[in-house]
Amino acid sequence: MADTVLYELTDGLATITLNRPDAMNALNIELKEALRDILQQVAADPAVRAVLLTATGRAFCVGQDLKEHIALLAEAAGGGGGGEVMSTVREHYNPITRAIAEMPKPVVAGVNGVAAGAGAGFAFAADYRVVADTASFNTSFAGVALTADSGVSWTLPRLIGPSRAADLLLFPRGVKAAEALELGIANRVVPAADLAAEAAAVARQLADGPTAAYAAIKESLAFSAGHGLAESLAKEEELQVRAGASEDHRIAVEAFVKKERPTFLGR
């Protein structure tokens, strides 16, 4: 694993940490490839029951590394290869976003500082965002004459509605933590000094929970976003049958009857 991304697995909780603090965790090719690969690994690893995605330094992630991007554009200019430069969307941003949003386990983003561009997109794709009171979000794309990527066109309207999403995409600006909480981007805002502990505590609670039920909740929410009521009800039935057959459901019911706290196994 490249040191641009740090990884630790402890009792079912995978902690993934972006680690280019001097570059405000800007996304160069090395970081993007490392993040994509580790996310796909944890998504498929049955030992992982929840994921915490966070970062070192004063930023969560400022998006594409524009210094590297400018160099790649210059290399491609002679041969008209601008489209090849933007293949990073297909090769990196799309698989990273899908791994976060679609993995059958909850993902918590611990947003320690500014999250901009694709960095904001990765945070939006997470299931829960714990945000430092000094952090902020910025879509940034239009400011460099680009459109949304990293799933922002899908995630942001679902978080705050299409009108507000259009506003933030057409007129990009810094959205501070307090406003992010009001809009619905942040789930929880905490003092910056407490961010690491609070985000880890939320992720730990999820790692100790009913993993299969969480996977079904994620699947049902994603399904209902693109389907009508009748289809969504049918999907709920399908997923509830599966959840009802899980070992964790049996454990939870037995613990409830005994007035005990359930110890979930994640299956």
Residue 259 has what DSSP assignment?
Answer: T
Is residue 263 a part of any domain in this protein?
no
* Total structural domains within the chain: 2
Contacts for 173 with CB less than 8 Å, ≥ 6 apart: 138
Is residue 231 a part of any domain in this protein?
yes
**Closest among 175, 193, 197 to 108, alpha carbons compared:** 197
Same structural domain, 49 and 102: yes
pLDDT tens by residue, 91-144: 999 999 999 999 999 999 999 999 999 999 999 999 999 999 999 999 999 999
Same structural domain, 141 and 230: no
Q: What is the CA radius of gyration of the chain?
A: 19
pLDDT tens by residue, 23-56: 999 999 999 999 999 999 999 999 999 999 999 9
- Residue-level pLDDT at 80: 54
**Predicted TM-score of the model (pTM):** 0.93
Q: At residue 53, what is the residue type?
A: L
Is residue 264 a part of any domain in this protein?
no
Indicate the pairing of strand 128-132 with strand 13-18.
unpaired
Same structural domain, 216 and 179: no
Q: What is the domain-level CATH number for residue 23? A: 3.90.226.10
What is the number of other CB atoms lying within 10 angstroms of the CB of residue 116? 26
Range of the domain at 186: 5-207
Same structural domain, 175 and 69: yes
Report residue 85's pLDDT band, with 50, 70 and 90 as the boundaries. Answer: confident
Query: Do 119 and 66 touch, CB atoms closer than 8 A?
Result: no
Same structural domain, 227 and 118: no
Same structural domain, 189 and 221: no
Mean pLDDT to the nearest integer, 220-231: 95
